[in-house]
Structures are given as structure tokens and as C-alpha cells.
């Protein structure tokens, strides 16, 4: 059973009526030490791979917990969103929106096709989504008016669902992590490491950790070269989400979202979005020994970064948390 009351509502009851939440997965997700992995035995995993009750899991489901109530609140029966061929976001949207009686149309651009993408295309076909293969970003933009009319002026969501409302999913995950630290499940981590595809996960973690009063930094491992995902973009999204919370009545003091608490790196991107890297494959092999199944597009690259940060002295011996955002079934 999914949890009934999110941390965000527990801490800010003033948001219960103004920012509705639809439970789609079970929290808190496990926080486990990756024994024997890395150099100092201080790598942990916040395992969101099992988050989601509806046929696909991972980080996108957390975003949909806040997005789908907004879709319903606007009386919309159809979502239009975009992604690449192997889109985890499009699949999660199609599956969880369908449960709410909402249809999904997808405009998909090309990405390198491998086994992993082929399997995803089969799942997409079975999800009931209407798929338009627009091939390039330019053609997607050119076809946008046609798509809006064709689908009856749908609720539009950008790639990855990284709107301020979607970003609340990882504000919630960070508050969950902070509650786990408070309960003594682990000491306060020096950093959380996540893949960055559209930014909502990293921005939400940053905002949530600051809201919770932790000093934990966010290491944002950029795996997508087709969207603006620099530090200012991610901080901008976190600020936009902070404004959303305040506009819905949340009461909290000023937050410092800058000051080096976000570390953005493109070092593990390789040739670009969807192009696997040797470092990613090597990291995925290490992860298998710890019981993690990683994907080549996002989590393998982020885990490669986590291993490098673990081997480096910059965080001393303090714990580092890798967020497993990949939720295959």
C-alpha cells in the first residue's frame, strides 16, 4: 500500500488543501549501505527503483504524484508530453495517467537505439499512449500547433515532467531522506548523487534538503546535452518550486539554494544523451554486485560519478548517497 500522508504535508499542513497529492508508490523508499562497494565503505543507496505500484517505477512516478492531481484539478482528460524514443517519463506518464482516466500523447525524438530502447518501445506501445515520432526537436516544435489541436488542447508537460509541480516529487524524497537521517538510519550524508536528464530530480533534492535543514550537497550528474542544465538552470527550477510552495501558502524562512550546495558536472556525459560510456558499463558491473540494476542512459553514468566522488578525498569519510532513479519491472 502506498503511504497516505507525504512528508511535505506532514511538515506543512497548510499545503494539504492547496497542493493535492496522489499516492502512487510506497515511501519511505529503502536507504541501504552498499557494503563492500567503493573505497571507504561509505556509499549508500536511496533506492527509488521500486517506487510505483503501476507497472513502471523510479523517479518519474514521484513527480506524477503531484502532477496528476493538477491535471485533474484543471479538468483535463489528456496529457501531451515529449521525450526521446526510450523515454521512461513518457511510459510512466502513460501508465499512471491511464489509471486516472487520462490519455497520453507522446512526441518522441530519436535516440541511439539499442536493446534497452527496443524493449522500451514495446512497453510504450502496450501502455495505450498515442506515439508521434517527430525525430528532432525542431520538428517537434514545428508540429506543436498540430499536436495541440489533434489532442484537443491537452495538458502540456515538458520533457521529464520537470515543472515546479513535478519537482515536488524530489522535494518529498529529500524530506523522506531527512526523516530517515533523523530516525538514525544513517548519519547526515555529505552529498546525494543523481543523474540529471531534465533537472527536476536534482532541483527537488536541493530544495528539499535545504527545507529540511540538512547541509547535504547535491551532485548533479548531467547525462543530457539537449536541454539547458547548467547550475543556474537547476537553481532556477528549485527557486521556481520554492515560489510555488510559498504561493500555495507554505510558511518557511529564507532558504540559501546557492553557496556551493549544488555541484553540476558533465564529466560523465560521454558523447551525449543516450550514448553509453565505458565508465558507465564498468560502474553498472560494480553495482550488480551490490544488487542494483542500472540503465546505460542515466543511472550507470551517475553511479560512475558516485564511485569517483567516493574515491576522492573532498568529502572526507562522510557518507555519500546514490539515488537509484531507474524503475524497470
Ligand X SMILES: *Cc1c(COP(=O)(O)O)cnc(C)c1O
Q: Which residues bind ligand X (CB under 6 A)?
A: 58-60, 88-89, 160, 162, 195-202, 295, 298-299, 325-326
Output 15 or 218, the one with its CB closest to ligand X.
Answer: 218
Provide, rounded to whole angstroms, the least separation between the CB of residue 162 and ligand X. Answer: 5
Output 59 or 216, the one with its CB closest to ligand X.
Answer: 59
Provide, rounded to whole angstroms, the least separation between the CB of residue 101 and ligand X. Answer: 25
Residue 115 burial (CB < 10 Å; 0-12/13-18/19+)? exposed
C-alpha cell at 149: 489541436
Output 38 or 200, the one with its CB closest to ligand X.
Answer: 200
Residue 164 burial (CB < 10 Å; 0-12/13-18/19+)? buried
Output 158 or 188, the one with its CB closest to ligand X.
Answer: 158
Provide, rounded to whole angstroms, the least separation between the CB of residue 223 and ligand X. Answer: 7
Neighbours of 54 (CB within 10 A): 16
Residue 143 burial (CB < 10 Å; 0-12/13-18/19+)? middle
Contacts with 295 (C-beta within 8 Å, 6 or more apart), sequence order: 116, 326, 328
Q: Are 169 and 63 in contact (CB under 8 A)?
A: yes
Provide, rounded to whole angstroms, the least separation between the CB of residue 243 and ligand X. Answer: 19
Distance CA 58, CA 10 (A): 23
Distance CA 304, CA 281 (A): 9
Provide, rounded to whole angstroms, the least separation between the CB of residue 302 and ligand X. Answer: 7
Output 30 or 148, the one with its CB closest to ligand X.
Answer: 30
Output 29 or 318, the one with its CB closest to ligand X.
Answer: 29
- Of 40, 158, 116, nearest in space to 295 by CA: 116
Provide, rounded to whole angstroms, the least separation between the CB of residue 2 and ligand X. Answer: 20
C-alpha cell at 154: 491537452
Distance CA 84, CA 77 (A): 23
Scanning the structure block, which residue is given the C-alpha cell 517537434? Answer: 140
Radius of gyration of the chain (CA): 19
Phi, then psi, of 207 in degrees rounded to 5? -65, -45
Output 37 or 238, the one with its CB closest to ligand X.
Answer: 238
Provide, rounded to whole angstroms, the least separation between the CB of residue 166 and ligand X. Answer: 8
Amino acid at each position: 500500500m502506498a503511504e497516505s500522508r507525504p512528508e511535505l504535508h506532514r511538515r506543512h499542513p497548510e499545503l494539504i488543501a492547496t497542493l493535492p497529492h496522489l499516492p502512487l508508490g510506497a515511501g519511505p523508499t529503502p536507504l541501504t549501505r552498499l557494503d563492500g562497494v567503493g573505497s571507504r565503505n561509505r556509499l549508500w543507496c536511496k533506492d527509488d527503483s521500486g517506487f510505483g505500484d503501476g507497472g513502471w517505477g523510479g523517479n518519474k512516478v514521484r513527480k506524477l504524484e503531484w502532477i496528476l492531481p493538477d491535471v485533474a484539478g484543471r479538468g483535463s482528460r489528456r496529457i501531451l508530453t515529449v521525450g526521446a524514443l526510450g523515454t521512461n517519463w513518457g511510459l510512466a506518464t502513460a501508465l499512471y495517467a491511464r489509471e486516472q482516466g487520462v490519455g497520453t500523447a507522446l512526441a518522441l525524438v530519436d535516440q541511439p537505439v539499442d536493446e534497452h530502447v527496443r524493449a522500451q518501445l514495446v512497453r510504450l506501445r502496450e501502455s495505450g499512449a498515442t506515439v508521434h515520432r517527430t525525430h528532432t526537436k525542431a520538428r517537434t516544435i514545428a508540429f506543436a500547433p498540430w499536436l495541440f489541436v489533434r489532442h484537443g488542447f491537452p495538458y502540456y508537460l515538458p520533457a521529464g515532467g520537470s515543472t515546479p509541480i513535478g519537482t515536488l516529487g524530489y522535494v518529498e524524497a529529500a524530506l523522506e531522506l531527512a526523516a530517515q537521517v533523523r530516525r538514525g538510519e544513517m548519519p547526515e550524508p555529505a552529498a546525494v548523487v543523481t543523474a540529471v536528464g531534465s533537472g527536476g530530480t536534482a532541483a527537488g533534492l536541493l530544495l528539499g534538503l535545504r527545507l529540511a535543514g540538512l547541509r547535504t550537497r547535491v551532485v548533479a550528474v548531467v547525462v543530457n546535452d539537449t536541454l539547458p542544465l547548467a547550475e543556474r538552470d537547476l537553481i532556477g527550477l528549485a527557486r521556481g518550486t520554492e515560489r510555488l510552495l510559498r504561493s500555495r501558502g507554505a510558511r518557511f524562512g529564507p532558504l540559501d539554494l546557492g553557496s556551493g550546495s549544488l555541484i553540476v558536472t558533465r564529466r560523465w556525459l560521454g558523447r551525449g544523451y543516450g550514448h553509453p560510456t565505458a565508465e558507465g558499463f564498468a560502474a553498472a558491473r560494480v553495482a550488480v554486485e551490490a544488487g542494483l540494476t542500472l540503465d546505460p542512459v542515466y543511472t550507470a553514468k551517475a553511479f560512475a560519478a558516485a564511485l569517483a566522488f567516493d574515491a576522492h578525498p573532498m568529502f572526507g569519510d562522510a557518507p555519500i548517497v546514490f539515488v537509484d532513479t531507474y524503475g524497470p519491472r
